[in-house]
Amino acid sequence: MDNSYMNKVMKFPLPNKIFHNINAITWYTLLVTGLIAYFKLASPQTMGLMMKIHIWTAVIFTLNFVAFVFITPHRFYMMLDRLFTWDMDTIAWFKNFGGYPRMLGIPFGPKEVAPQGKYNAGQKLSYPMFVLFVLVLIVTGWGLFFFKHALGKGLFTVMFYVHVWGSIFVSAMATFGHIPLALIHPDDVKAMFRFGPGTVPIEVAAHHNPKWVESEIVEIDHPEDIPGGHHH
């Protein structure tokens, strides 16, 4: 048995890793190329090239989302189910915002963090917004591309500014919120981005996501002829 599974739990299954990582790469490619074109930060020739890159990247961005939703619908449903399942511990997370202010030297709220599931309350607020805006940007982007002459000036303008400023707003949330907070948990980062299984040590999962470990994780024993004991 691969030692990468020993005493670890699968936090990020392969479909989730593929979706997340392709989404992240294409998102920032779309952001950079879109900003260059929108704010006219380059020559007309370069801006034309940026828009070609933008469009072909959007194809990958769209197919990635469609594949995650329709090829692995169970994974998409499980993610949404966890994100929209709230209890008193979810709400109690906001008493100290998961202890993140204390990590930054700000003594805010109680020291103890309310136990969370696979997603904490902050993630349950922000991740649905990310998913929604992925869908919004796909719809507005391809709507502007294919139906620009049929939309009418008013609808075209609304869709255009939702597409541009919506992407800027969500990108700011991801860049200054999601990414810095994710980097605080290096085991999660390694599990998400490395080649290989998206596993984290069971003790790390039990510390950060105790309700998930208690309610969903099952210990599996190896056959005795396989060295290494057991994994999760």
Q: What is the pLDDT of residues 184-198, one digit of tens each?
A: 999 999 999 999 999
pLDDT at 109 over 50: yes
Count up the domains in the chain and report the number: 1
Each residue's pLDDT tens digit, 155-210: 999 999 999 999 999 999 999 999 999 999 999 999 999 999 999 999 999 999 99
pLDDT at 228 over 80: no
With 0.85 as the threshold, say if the pTM is over it: yes
Give the closest residue to 129 by CA, choosing from 97, 172, 89, 68.
Answer: 172
pLDDT at 71 over 70: yes
pLDDT at res. 151: 92
pLDDT at 7 over 50: yes
The vertex-174 CA angle with 76 and 140, nearest 5°, equals 65
pLDDT at 224 over 70: no
pLDDT at res. 218: 83
Percent of the chain whose predicted confidence (pLDDT) is above 90: 86
User: Phi and psi at residue 164, in whole multiples of 5°?
Assistant: -70, -60
pLDDT at res. 103: 86
pLDDT at res. 221: 64
Contacts for 39 with CB less than 8 Å, ≥ 6 apart: none
Provide the residue range defining the domain that includes 135. 3-231
Contacts for 41 with CB less than 8 Å, ≥ 6 apart: 35, 47
CATH code of the domain in which 215 resides: 1.20.950.20
Contacts for 131 with CB less than 8 Å, ≥ 6 apart: 80
